[in-house]
Amino acid sequence: MESTNEIQDKLNNVFQICNDIQRHISQPNFIDCDPIDLELQRLHAEVIGANKNDVKHWIRLFKDECNRKIYDRDSSPVPHKYVINYGHACIFSALQMITTAELDLDSDLAEATVISEIDQGLVVTGALIDAKLRDLLDKLISELHGSKEKIQPQGLMLCPDFKAQLVSRLYYPHLSCNVRQLLQPTVKQFENELTSGMMPLHLIGAANSWPAIQHWNSLDYLLSKTNNGLRVVPVEVGKSYVSNAWSQKLVTLRSLLHEWTNPCEAAEVKYLAQHDLLAQVPVLRKDVLTPNVVYSQINDQERAPVLNSWLGPAGTISPLHTDPNHNVLVQVVGFKYVRLYPPSTKGITSCNDMGNTCDVELESGAFGALFEDEDVSASSLEDDVVDFEKLKARVLAKKKYQQQFSEFPWTDGYVECILAPGDEIFVPSGWWHYVRSLTPSFSVSFWF
Ligand SMILES: O=C(O)CCC(=O)C(=O)O
């Protein structure tokens, strides 16, 4: 329980940070609108200058206007200023809730409402938000939580079941074309490797010394670093980003973690994918070190690697795709299967607008009999009962799918591996890669 003095101190700090944020965003040269955006510019000025009663109205107009500019467009890229404006509108809205005493700032509801508004802004603006503003928002968010009583530790793990992990491993009897393995290579060794050609490398235990390896499997830890899980994050909903029934939404981390630790409550697979969670929650960034591999290729500050987090339950799929950068994917919690094909592989064609994702579903044609229902495979081992009819049906379905895409290299021309906690995989640019989580999983990628 906070004392009256503590509450007053907290309020003073919160108001001070709000003032700093307001001053920072209101810099006249901060938003650079061209003449055709005069309407937006006018709205921005009015939001900043509006009296208290009008603010809410203007913020809504402003957000709607930015939203329209962002989403009502052809396929051309969204000009950054609309995205930044949208982010600012979310932040204004949060400040307005605080400074008009609309909410009891000491309540959980206030913390959740303000954080949700700020996180919307942070998620939409991503890397576009400037470092100073990011820092101020981080301070505000941690001050809002203040010295609230700590939640009782529950001792729950993101990936608790060691046996399930073993089962996942056993279910890969044919890892016949392993990615070349290296044991914790130095920068020099890695450079030597690359002089003979850009090939994927499985770097066993290369991230073992990361604090994240020790801490991120603990839900208590993840909740304690995210205002008890109130931080709001984007998730992909559906089988994979090329399937028809796929969408994105914003949810609290607490609801995600709850869902994954109570799987029967999860209606659909939700995947926090390709999101820079560590920029959104900088305290988690401290648990992560930049892999040696990245240093071997980048030595100037100008080209900082692009980080992304990948957090989800067992069964998330990133379909076979390529990226224009080199990548190191680091496995922090749980296990992932990765399969890679070289850039110029015949029989792989893309199906999406960006031309980087293959139209073939590996899980249907390559793993149909293994992956379709992991619960069944786990319980089969446990009870020593195998449903042969079901297995037969899957083998047939798999064959049929393979025939449908007969050009695709189903049986050769690839390398594969299973990433365990502490492992890294180097994916050279242009290599096709397919990734599937075998257990609940948390990974961080570095594109460089
Ligand atoms: O882990 C995943 O699901 C996909 C990772 C990936 O595709 C990447 O890091 O480029």
Asked whether residue 131 carries a pLDDT value surpassing 70, the answer given is: yes
Per-residue pLDDT at 116? 95
Asked whether residue 300 carries a pLDDT value surpassing 50, the answer given is: yes
Asked whether residue 368 carries a pLDDT value surpassing 70, the answer given is: no
DSSP-derived secondary structure letter, 104: -
State pLDDT tens for residues 50-73.
Answer: 665 566 777 777 777 777 777 766
Q: How far apart are CA 270 and CA 237, in angstroms?
A: 5
State pLDDT tens for residues 372-424.
Answer: 444 434 444 444 456 677 778 878 888 899 999 999 999 899 999 989 899 99
Q: How far apart are CA 423 and CA 409, in angstroms?
A: 27
Domain boundary assignment for the chain: 4-145, 162-360+405-447
Q: How far apart are CA 330 and CA 324, in angstroms?
A: 18
Per-residue pLDDT at 74? 63
Angle (deg, nearest 10), helices 52-71 and 38-49:
150
Tokens 């920029």 sit on residue: 279
**Residue 30 pLDDT grade (very low, low, confident, very high; cuts 50, 70, 90):** very low
Per-residue pLDDT at 424? 96
Percent of the chain whose pLDDT exceeds 90: 41
Half-sphere exposure of 221 (CA within 13 A, CB side): 13
State pLDDT tens for residues 94-119.
Answer: 888 887 766 677 788 888 999 999 99
Per-residue pLDDT at 209? 95
Structure tokens at 212: 């994240």
Ligand 1 midpoint to CA 64 (Å): 33
Helices (H), 184-252: 187-195, 211-215, 219-224
Q: How far apart are CA 213 and CA 36, in angstroms?
A: 50
Residue predicted with more confidence, 430 or 352: 430
State pLDDT tens for residues 167-181.
Answer: 555 555 467 788 999
Per-residue pLDDT at 27? 57
Structure tokens at 314: 């067992």
State pLDDT tens for residues 210-257.
Answer: 999 999 999 999 999 999 999 999 999 987 777 777 888 999 999 999
Residue predicted with more confidence, 8 or 346: 346
Q: Is 249 helix (H, G, I), strand (E, B) or coil?
A: strand
Per-residue pLDDT at 1? 57
Helices (H), 100-161: 108-125, 131-145
Tokens 């690839």 sit on residue: 414
| 280 within ligand 1 shell (Cβ under 6 A) | no
Determine which of 182-191, 223-232, 292-301, 350-359 has the lowest per-residue pLDDT on average: 292-301
Cβ-Cβ contacts under 8 Å for 264 (sequence gap 6 or more): none
State pLDDT tens for residues 312-365.
Answer: 998 899 999 999 999 999 999 998 999 999 998 998 988 766 678 998 888 888
Consecutive H or E run containing 171:
none
Beta bridge partners of 203: 182, 424
Residue predicted with more confidence, 45 or 404: 404
Instruction: Transcribe 316-354 into DSSP letters.
Output: -EEEEE--SS-EEEEEEES-EEEEEE-TT-TT--B-STT
Ligand 1 pocket test target in 235, 445, 446 with most atoms within 8 Å of CB: 445
Q: Are 85 and 56 in contact (CB under 8 A)?
A: no
Cβ-Cβ contacts under 8 Å for 161 (sequence gap 6 or more): 439
Tokens 């450079």 sit on residue: 191
**Residue 138 pLDDT grade (very low, low, confident, very high; cuts 50, 70, 90):** very high
Chosen CATH of 162-360+405-447 out of 2.60.120.650, 3.40.50.300, 3.40.710.10, 2.40.30.200:
2.60.120.650
Q: How far apart are CA 102 and CA 440, in angstroms?
A: 39
Q: Are 157 and 396 in contact (CB under 8 A)?
A: no
Tokens 């793993």 sit on residue: 367
pTM given for the model = 0.87
Ligand 1 pocket test target in 239, 242, 278, 329 with most atoms within 8 Å of CB: 329
| 329 within ligand 1 shell (Cβ under 6 A) | yes
Q: How far apart are CA 347 and CA 408, in angstroms?
A: 5
| 318 within ligand 1 shell (Cβ under 6 A) | yes
Q: Are 445 and 310 in contact (CB under 8 A)?
A: yes
Strands 180-183 and 201-204: parallel
Per-residue pLDDT at 235? 95
Ligand 1 midpoint to CA 374 (Å): 21
Nearest CA-CA partner of 86 in 39, 48, 118: 118
Half-sphere exposure of 317 (CA within 13 A, CB side): 20
Ligand 1 pocket test target in 236, 276, 310 with most atoms within 8 Å of CB: 310
DSSP-derived secondary structure letter, 127: G
CB atoms within 10 A of CB 73: 12
Q: Are 427 and 305 in contact (CB under 8 A)?
A: no
- For the chain, give the mean pLDDT: 82
